[in-house]
Copies of this chain bind each other. A is one copy, B any other.
């Protein structure tokens, strides 16, 4: 990338006050080389026009968030989810996203092992659709506190085993917020060599203010972010590094200002 800010990328979820078109232009103005987008924010322009707009602005689409939510209580809803995931692949292809991020869960019942098998089956099926479309699928190991309501994939070794159980086109995305606590993080990332499709950053606030909307601005929390990126890079990954912060205080701020703050904090705590 030739962006002034180098590998630094913004995830749209950090600056929700802007429309997607505004976010793309804003990132370009601020010197960001890439942006991660969310499916529910693609209307009204649609993936085709947004992709063209980003291309013109010189901003890469580092990710499309998100597919997954594979498990279902019955066959009808399972088919609906599979169809929606194929649409997500189509959108990722059309917009030119570097990966489609997948939330792998939650389980439909208390049987966590069964939920994990269901995820593996649905992922293999989706990968067969995504491969010819040229869309890399990124399994996101999520923090274990989301095991009940979001993702049954909660560790990097587990995500990696799942991704590697499927032939081609499936990798993992490493998010500091989800993975920082792992006592075996160094070994886990070393084992992920060649399989990392993307990196996301947020800091961990202590104590956590909220299970879902408590992510911290870079530098405000407990994570050694510089070490985290070094471990991610040691896998051979050298692509964009998205900053994705779910936090009402960040959401309420002026997006222009947030882009500036993130760039400053990134230089100070990560790069």
Task: Please pick, from B148, B154, B207, B211, the residue contacting A221 in the complex, using a CB distance under 8 A.
Answer: B148
Q: How far is the CA of A112 from the CA of B214 in the complex (A)?
A: 20
A23 to chain B, nearest CB (A): 27
Interface status of A106 (Cβ within 8 A of chain B): yes
Interface digits, A139-173 against B, CB 8 Å rule (1 contact, 0 not)? Answer: 00001110111000111001000000000000000
Interface status of A74 (Cβ within 8 A of chain B): no
Q: Which residues of B contact A76 (CB under 8 A)?
A: none
The dominant DSSP class at the A interface is: loop
Query: Do B147 and A180 touch across chains, with their CB atoms under 8 A apart?
Result: yes
> Size band of the A side of the interface?
20 to 34
Q: How far is the CA of A154 from the CA of B184 in the complex (A)?
A: 11
Query: Do B149 and A223 touch across chains, with their CB atoms under 8 A apart?
Result: no
- Assuming the A-B contacts A111-B224, A154-B181, A155-B183, are A148 and B116 also in contact, with contact meaning beta carbons closer than 8 angstroms in the complex? no
Which residue of B has the minimal Cβ distance to A224?
Answer: B110
Which residue of B has the minimal Cβ distance to A222?
Answer: B148
Interface status of A236 (Cβ within 8 A of chain B): no
Tell me which of A107, A149, A209 has the highest count of chain B C-beta atoms within 10 A of its own C-beta: A149
- Assuming the A-B contacts A224-B110, A224-B111, A224-B112, are A149 and B181 also in contact, with contact meaning beta carbons closer than 8 angstroms in the complex? no
- Assuming the A-B contacts A155-B183, A158-B183, are A222 and B145 also in contact, with contact meaning beta carbons closer than 8 angstroms in the complex? no
Query: Do B145 and A208 touch across chains, with their CB atoms under 8 A apart?
Result: yes
Task: Please pick, from B112, B206, B211, the residue contacting A148 in the complex, using a CB distance under 8 A.
Answer: B206
Query: Do A145 and B148 touch across chains, with their CB atoms under 8 A apart?
Result: no
Task: Please pick, from B107, B111, B206, B211, the residue contacting A208 in the complex, using a CB distance under 8 A.
Answer: B211
Interface status of A205 (Cβ within 8 A of chain B): yes
Which residue of B has the minimal Cβ distance to A159?
Answer: B183
Interface status of A204 (Cβ within 8 A of chain B): yes
Which residue of B has the minimal Cβ distance to A186?
Answer: B113
Query: Do B206 and A106 touch across chains, with their CB atoms under 8 A apart?
Result: yes
A115 to chain B, nearest CB (A): 10
Query: Do A148 and B110 touch across chains, with their CB atoms under 8 A apart?
Result: no
Which residue of B has the minimal Cβ distance to A154?
Answer: B181
Query: Do B110 and A222 touch across chains, with their CB atoms under 8 A apart?
Result: yes
A7 to chain B, nearest CB (A): 22
Q: How far is the CA of A147 from the CA of B144 in the complex (A)?
A: 12
- Assuming the A-B contacts A212-B207, A222-B110, A223-B110, are A183 and B149 also in contact, with contact meaning beta carbons closer than 8 angstroms in the complex? no
Tell me which of A106, A145, A147, A183 has the highest count of chain B C-beta atoms within 10 A of its own C-beta: A183
Q: A112-B180, A144-B145, A148-B222 are in contact. List 7 more A-B contacts (CB 8 A).
A: A106-B206, A107-B222, A110-B223, A144-B144, A149-B206, A155-B183, A209-B211
